[in-house]
Amino acid sequence: MEKIYLDNAATTQVRENVIAKMQDALSNFYGNPSSTHSFGRSARTAIESARKTIAKYLNAQASEIIFTSGGTEADNMILRSAVRDLGVETIITTKIEHHAVLHTVEDLQKEFGIKVEFVALDDFGNAKLSHLEALLKQDGSKKLVSLMHVNNEIGNTLDIDEVCQLCQEHQALFHSDTVQSIGHYPWNVQETPVNFMTAAAHKFHGPKGIGFAYIRKNSRLKPLIMGGSQERGFRAGTESFHNIVGLEAAFIAAYDNLEEEMAYVSGLKKYFLDSIQKEIPTATFNGHSGDMDKSTYTLVNLCLPIDPQKALMLLFHLDIKGIACSKGSACQSGSDAGSHVLNEILSEADLKKPSLRFSFSKYNTKKELDYVVEVLKEFVQE
């Protein structure tokens, strides 16, 4: 049976050259990067090279890149440190952020008594920037805005430059969860002066368990994990050397091939949208995921005209047919509460219908999409 992987927003297939780099690191560079002998120095040199590589592509400084276990740790580290160390009293966010942000903010509210404000959303799930501006003007408290650049479920993209400008005008800090966009979009942190960003290698064909935080210089954040002096004292613990090397290789490949792969994956999404509209015209697209100009080119969130009882079998049916997709974020797949994102933007009637997230990569083909559309069409018409 053919196996088709369309859950790339959850995680991606690791590039072959990345695997080769990691195997070499595990075999030949096994010294502790903090050791002063030649084995350790070789590992340390490679880690600092990876840091400089990432900084170069982001137009950042190497000292602003802190390696973490992934996006969740980076989000937690930044938000918690901002409240604890920088005196942030108000966090402004939305109700459709990733739970790495939402749950952290909830916890900070309980622990530190901070004020939490939610930016209003339009019918498609976009943050209303006029409301954001009003919230920024509200009082004299120290504020941090946390808004994701690309929503991981519905693919909406934020006008991040405008948010940066608003935050600067009102002396607020700006943190953006960029896990779904780093590796997929070009970045220049000098032109887009965000204070904090986060990334995870496994979203752009790198290994799981490694990512980084971008923390603009002179931020005055202090470490959450205490111990040794790794990561310039900001994150203690022996570095995951082979994963850092893998992250660097995936990062280089993503950006050296960005234009070509962006065009290819965009073509796949456009083809999928056109095919769904032709073959299942009663289907709808959640958020702005059906709009090539207002959402990321990597995913589609599809609402199918199926009754609730029949919908219970949909994911199982697709799995039997060899199709991997998602009904929401992989991070909440064990929950029966449904998507917190869709709960905010869909009508009661549409919430009763099944919604699926299909996310694409360079490894997918139009032939695969033809098969998926045909399987969906048959299931809807049964």
* Residues 203 and 280 reside in one and the same domain: no
What is the DSSP code (8-state) at residue 202?
G
DSSP H helical segments within the chain, as ranges? 16-28, 38-58, 71-86, 99-112, 129-136, 160-169, 241-256, 258-279, 308-311, 314-320, 340-345, 348-351, 366-381
* Residues 272 and 335 reside in one and the same domain: yes
Do residues 46 and 241 lie in contact, with contact meaning Cβ atoms separated by under 8 Å?
A: yes
Q: Considering 256, 274, 296, which residue would you say is the last residue of a domain?
A: 256
Which pLDDT does position 334 carry in this prediction?
Answer: 47
Q: Considering 233, 256, 279, which residue would you say is the last residue of a domain?
A: 256
Taking the C-alpha atoms of residue 182 and residue 197, their distance in angstroms, rounded to an integer, is 9
Taking the C-alpha atoms of residue 371 and residue 374, their distance in angstroms, rounded to an integer, is 5
* Residues 176 and 278 reside in one and the same domain: no
Model confidence over 73-108: pLDDT tens digits? 999 999 999 999 999 999 999 999 999 999 999 999
**Number of domains, the chain:** 2
* Residues 158 and 291 reside in one and the same domain: no
* Bridge partners (DSSP) listed for residue 101: none
* Residues 209 and 77 reside in one and the same domain: yes
Taking the C-alpha atoms of residue 7 and residue 299, their distance in angstroms, rounded to an integer, is 9
* Residues 66 and 181 reside in one and the same domain: yes
Please report, for the domain that includes residue 131, its CATH number: 3.40.640.10
- State the CB neighbour count (10 A cutoff) for residue 173: 20
Taking the C-alpha atoms of residue 283 and residue 278, their distance in angstroms, rounded to an integer, is 10
* Residues 298 and 220 reside in one and the same domain: no
Which pLDDT does position 336 carry in this prediction?
Answer: 55
Q: What are phi and psi of 323, to 5 degrees?
A: -105, 125
- Domain of residue 301 covers 4-12+258-381
* Bridge partners (DSSP) listed for residue 358: 300
* Residues 252 and 267 reside in one and the same domain: no
* Residues 146 and 221 reside in one and the same domain: yes
Residues in contact with 300: Cβ distance below 8 Å, sequence separation at least 6, in sequence order: 155, 269, 272, 273, 276, 285, 289, 290, 357, 358, 359
**Which tokens is 286 given?**
């959640």
Do residues 276 and 283 lie in contact, with contact meaning Cβ atoms separated by under 8 Å?
A: yes
Q: Considering 199, 231, 256, which residue would you say is the last residue of a domain?
A: 256
* Residues 306 and 372 reside in one and the same domain: yes
The pTM of this model reads 0.94
Which pLDDT does position 332 carry in this prediction?
Answer: 46
Task: Single out the residue of 201, 180, 192, 177 nearest to residue 53, CA to CA.
Answer: 201
Question: How do beta strands 115-118 and 90-93 pair?
Answer: parallel
Which pLDDT does position 233 carry in this prediction?
Answer: 83
Model confidence over 321-358: pLDDT tens digits? 999 999 864 454 444 568 999 999 999 999 999 999 99
Which pLDDT does position 327 carry in this prediction?
Answer: 85
Measured at the alpha carbon of residue 152, what is the angle toward residues 79 and 326, in degrees to the nearest 5?
130
Enzyme catalytic residues? 331
What is the DSSP code (8-state) at residue 346?
S
* Residues 133 and 112 reside in one and the same domain: yes
Spans of the chain, pLDDT less than 50 = 329-330, 332-335
User: Within 13 A of 323's CA, how many CA atoms are on the CB side?
Assistant: 24
* Residues 62 and 207 reside in one and the same domain: yes
Taking the C-alpha atoms of residue 227 and residue 211, their distance in angstroms, rounded to an integer, is 20
Residues in contact with 332: Cβ distance below 8 Å, sequence separation at least 6, in sequence order: 99, 339, 340
